[in-house]
Structure formats: structure tokens, C-alpha cells
């Protein structure tokens, strides 16, 4: 399970962009976005850095 905090995620549109971005990396990934906590949980066998890079490029860099 990959868990990322995305402080720039603030609305339903953001949730859609984050979900689509994750699914572009792994179409079979299970994605759980918690908007209020500004967090995404991803169940995938891909490397976390792949998702972090794609999300940052989409405008949602992960906070560490």
C-alpha cells in the first residue's frame, strides 16, 4: 500500500485528476482518495516514485 499526502488537493476536480493520473501509471491500481485529509492510498505493485513523479507533474506534489 502506497500512501501519499497531497496538500494541493482541494476539490472534486483534484480528486479526478489524481485518480486518472494514478490509473495512467497502473490501470489495475486500487485508488482511495480522501479529500478532507488530502491523502491518496494506492494499491499497486509499481514503485511509489512512479506515482509521485506523475502526480507532481500533474500539479499535486507529495509532501514528505
What is the predicted pLDDT for the residue at 64? Answer: 75
- The answer, as to whether pTM is greater than 0.85, is yes
Beta carbons of 54 and 24 less than 8 angstroms apart: yes
Domain ranges in the chain?
A: 2-57
Q: For the domain covering 2-57, report its CATH number.
A: 3.30.70.100
Nine-digit cell at 47? 514503485
What is the predicted pLDDT for the residue at 1? Answer: 94
Beta carbons of 34 and 40 less than 8 angstroms apart: yes
**pLDDT tens digit at each of 64 positions of the chain:** 999 999 999 999 999 999 999 999 999 999 999 999 999 999 999 999 999 999 999 999 999 7
Amino acid at each position: 500500500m502506497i500512501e501519499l499526502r497531497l496538500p494541493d488537493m482541494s476539490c472534486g476536480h483534484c480528486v479526478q485528476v489524481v485518480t486518472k493520473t494514478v490509473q495512467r501509471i497502473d490501470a489495475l491500481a486500487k485508488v482511495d482518495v480522501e479529500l478532507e485529509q488530502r491523502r491518496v492510498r494506492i494499491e499497486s505493485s509499481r514503485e511509489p516514485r512512479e506515482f509521485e513523479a506523475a502526480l507532481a507533474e500533474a500539479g499535486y506534489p507529495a509532501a514528505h
